[in-house]
Amino acid sequence: MTILKKALSRRTMLRGTGATVALPLLDAMIPALTAVAATPAASAQLRRIGYIYIPMGCNPAEWTPKSTSLDVLPSSLSPLEDVKDRVCVLSGMDLKNAYPGSHATSNSAFLSAARAKLTESTDYYLGTTVDQIAAKEIGQSTPLPSLELSMDLLATVGQCDNGYACVYQNNLSWSSPSNPLPAEAHPRLVFESLFGEGGTPDQRRANLKKRASLLDSVTKEIKRLKLRIGPSDRNKIDGYLENIRDVERRIHQAESAVKDNPLPDLDRPIGVPFEYADHARLMFDLQLLAFQGDITRVTTFQLAREASNRTYPEIGVPDPHHPITHHGKDPEKLAKIAKINQFHVSLFAEFLKKLKATPEAGGSLLDHSLFLYGSGMGDSDRHDHSDLPILVAGGAAGKMRGGRHLRFDSPTPLSNLHLTLLNKVGVPLETFADSNGRVEDLFDPVTL
């Protein structure tokens, strides 16, 4: 570690024409000659939390581990093999306030554990979601308190499901009971929100035309900064900036390919990668960059919307997703649901591996993050909100005890898990929604 007379600020930015690039945590940002040097204990204070939503539940037979360990993963969770020591699967959790069962309430209750007001109009009412409670506590010192992402266009309005307004189905995040937060599905717009200097859409387009790459405008700042830091930090910056450039290049390629794909997918924004997996990887990589640069510490990501009719021919499922989930115990349909579950989990597993491979302060980005992955629906055929497919990943710095399957003896509110994770990232709540306790066994008891 290079000892500087004055440490760099954690909020150091590289600024250029139309660009503001945050930096990863560097050794030079840690006050020299102090006990705060890059140790796991110090880095445990770097808290981040993310929520990933999958729609329409799962095939329980191919999702639920047979034992209390993850030694043998069921097929839908098999992509987690390389990171299963950082994963806990939880069975027996429910969302009582999502009843009567619907797609709208599955989505709306997942992060709020609240009962949605039955309305088709604009007098909708839900509850503040856990991500926004976290953002108010741990997101106020970052450029973006939270980041809301999706894979689909969520512009439908009016009534979407059994008398519930579409707003419940379209939005995971709510900053208050009456204020849903729209999610962004276009990688370019997310990229610009992370690294652009803002302005109107016309101003951003003009800035893009002036430069071949966002990073080109900060070249001089990069060279100047490198004179102040040591070799290890220079390597960190080079790797981080190359990742930014790679994401930017992939976004540009997707936008350039629009002319070669004249038949648009009505569920997707124009200019996103043609393949679903490529689009999802971009959205996950944008979250990685946002965490690495400390641009935000709270994210939500909707991998597909409830009642989605998206098809997945790339994995041998050309059928629309939603009709398959009304399976009537048909083995063929259940097998297809398991394939879709496995596909979604594989994308999440890739993201976890990248986080694990990204060094930070005596550990990795994965060490210093927590993720809740799951659905607000259990058995999609019955629109049931019990025995939800839920897993938690990350958290080594917070002493999460991974590699396990926690099965609750009786239905347990998902809000108990929400409360536990909020506490672990530094939000001192005693209760949340309908919680009646905490998930004490998820973490080392001496640190909870």
Would you place residue 259 in the very low, low, confident or very high pLDDT band (cuts 50, 70, 90)?
Answer: low
Task: Show the domain range for 310.
Answer: 49-185+298-442
Q: What sign does the dihedral 44-234-240-211 (CA atoms) show?
A: positive
Q: Which residue has tokens 């000659």? A: 33
- Same domain for 206 and 311, yes or no, is no
Q: Of 271, 286, 311, at which residue does a domain stop?
A: 271
Query: Is 122 part of any domain?
Result: yes
Which CATH number characterizes residue 143's domain? Answer: 3.40.720
End-to-end CA distance of the chain: 32
One-character DSSP codes across 11-66? T-EEEETTEEEE----GGGSPTTSTTSS-HHHHTT--EEEEEE-SS---HHHHS-S
- Same domain for 352 and 248, yes or no, is no
Query: Is 230 part of any domain?
Result: yes
Query: Is 284 part of any domain?
Result: no
Q: Where are the beta strands (DSSP E) in 252-330?
A: 298-302
At 1 the pLDDT is 35
Question: Which tens digits make up the pLDDT trace of 84-113?
Answer: 999 999 999 999 999 988 999 999 999 999
Taking the C-alpha atoms of residue 80 and residue 87, their distance in angstroms, rounded to an integer, is 8
- Same domain for 169 and 318, yes or no, is yes
How many domains does one find in the chain?
A: 2
- Same domain for 238 and 172, yes or no, is no
Question: Which tens digits make up the pLDDT trace of 349-377?
Answer: 999 999 999 998 888 999 999 999 999 99
Taking the C-alpha atoms of residue 197 and residue 417, their distance in angstroms, rounded to an integer, is 37
Taking the C-alpha atoms of residue 364 and residue 341, their distance in angstroms, rounded to an integer, is 27
Residue 420: what residue type? T
Tokens of 47: 């808290």
At 263 the pLDDT is 47
- Same domain for 80 and 151, yes or no, is yes
- Same domain for 220 and 313, yes or no, is no
- Same domain for 335 and 420, yes or no, is yes
Residue 420 sits at the vertex; the CA angle it makes with 96 and 405, to the nearest 5 degrees, is 80
Angle formed by the axes of helices 187-195 and 276-292, nearest 10°: 10
3-state helix, strand, coil in the chain (%, to 5): 40, 15, 45
Higher local confidence (pLDDT), 173 or 228: 173
Residue 32 pLDDT greater than 50, yes or no: no
Tokens of 280: 């999802």
- Same domain for 192 and 177, yes or no, is no
- Same domain for 330 and 217, yes or no, is no
Helix (H, G, I), strand (E, B) or coil at 154: coil
- Same domain for 77 and 143, yes or no, is yes
- Same domain for 305 and 416, yes or no, is yes
- Same domain for 322 and 433, yes or no, is yes
Query: Is 397 part of any domain?
Result: yes
